[in-house]
Structure 1
């Protein structure tokens, strides 16, 4: 009787490069206090945020995406990919997508390029799309970027939201590999509930309510969020999605080395960690110094983890996001061996060639 052959490794997407980019203008709570009739203590108590970064007036989402993408490509050891995916809520233009421009500025003209719109869950959705392109053999390498300039859509006079959001971009490179090697992306969980589409929204500007200078109100042109309801949904959906991925993988939360959630605010992160039974010191956080950067928050956390040396090769990493739509998603991966991080350069050095 023949023995059972060992199962062969399966084709998988493997993370092989990370990079991030923040605007150079850092804005502390005290700088917002006077214009918003608030103070540092009020902001910290409700959000845990001390500072955030604001893009310059002439800076667009594509500029930060290109900078982060260039850094991730350099970290991966190759400037070539077969696809570029950009997760964003703040594209350069309503039409066309931002990804083809990002690809062209990175010297990648001719590759597949498209945007993903899943708000703050966007990076996890884009990661799933990138992994799908690799496992279905469409391409062997993908650049996945999360980039948002929320200062372009948040009313600067809105005290509830203006203190929360910042601008930034983060990126990863995926390559073809096998599911048993460090860096391999594992199980995904994705979900949505469009019944609550108006809970996090910019009401005007789409086909449902085009902007009309004579009829569109100031509030309708800006980002709105029903904070208390979002808090409840975010905690439930992020924790539930994380558990779903763990169940697929047959793992317990105690076997996770680093939890990387969407950086909504510090209260939500602490509550989700508590709900999961995860010690907070195993939760990656940068919201204190960057604010909520939307689709950029998870890849920025991965880039920061690499810079800080917070993860070792083979560590189990759990990513979880939640955003407007409503949308949510989670992913498991193991941490790869990466070259040293490429340090940020000055904005003028990131200009298009």
Structure 2
């Protein structure tokens, strides 16, 4: 994620900001060309001029009125929802204050996801554009049945439809599930990045025979029974040597999950490196053999031609930020090992993106 600044007073801004704290200007994000802009009202209610593009007029996404979005559309756009929000199919009952709070957290994570997806130029067709396989989201809650039993919503993906249990937006509940599942890392944004990986597989891998063949050589044959594979995983866990071939234990369950987990980590790496670049971070360890851990992110990670261009600065950066976290008594920011086999799989992801 890059940094932004207010065009009126040059205050540094973050992607989530809706108001400049220094000068008071309303802020909105323009997905094309990826700019946060200060706004000034016009004579027409609900229409704004953007200081980033003088003379152009914009309106907010409809969900801005619910404090769940800060993205803009051009004034004359037929759509009422932005490029991210128009992919919603179902949202929770917002008359419930707890649901509203959780949904806002879900939208923040989803918009962060779409920031990266649009920068990578990935195909993002809505359900209206492609009724069978278009990308859509259902944000659902567990329900209590008349007999007192609970119907649990499972987070997952099917033919472009991504379902997220809104309980994942509750920090305590998500931590409980992380501990119960024995996971080193579990975040809302991580869920979105994983599930969108299944969508990417459908769109960029399964429909191209040559790409599918390369996928099977790296990840395995996805035609293996998925249900049985998950049963084996939950009964016995991953193989003892999983870290040599997979980015996480869950990735070892099935080739589809391996792809989705690896894709999520590809997005972790690209987005975090862009943030490091925005802050001008340079790693120079002050130890006698620290030269091999020196790094500086002085390129746009979204346009990296080779996976090595991403991995070379990523390893020193994670070593540094993990050390910073430990100094604060926090767990490692990135508690994963990238083996040569995993890096090769990440290279497959980068190749998919570069081919677009």
Q: State the TM-score, normalized to the length of structure 1.
A: 0.29
Which structure carries more relative contact order (alpha carbon 8 Å, separation 6+)? Answer: 1
Q: State the TM-score, normalized to the length of structure 2.
A: 0.29
Greater Rg, structure 1 or structure 2? 2
